[in-house]
Amino acid sequence: MTLFWTLLVIGAGLVALGWIAYGIYEYRERKLEKQRPKERSERYRQATNSMAEYAKKLAEFKKTTYKHDDSTPSDTNQPRG
């Protein structure tokens, strides 16, 4: 019976050491992953670039101004009713 308990204690110790080693490995991997730049997909990059171009166009956009008289370019000689 002592052989059983000896093997049980040794086995439990090895399992505990394995989990500790695994925890240390995972901790190091997470730490390295935070330091690496994130890889962006091609679709994400395209969307980002198109949004940047759109924002640039909006910044350059100049609103047309009209004189405040009775007519605007849209209602040329059309009766209201």
**Mean pLDDT of all residues in 33-53:** 89
Structural domain boundaries of the chain? 2-59
pLDDT(3) > 90? yes
The pLDDT value recorded for residue 16 is 98
For 52-69, what is the mean pLDDT?
A: 82
What is 20-66 written as a DSSP string?
HHHHHHHHHHHHHHHHSPPPPPHHHHHHHHHHHHHHHHHHH------
CB 5 within 8 A of CB 12: no
The whole-number average pLDDT for the span 38-65 is: 87
Does the pLDDT of residue 25 top 80, yes or no?
yes
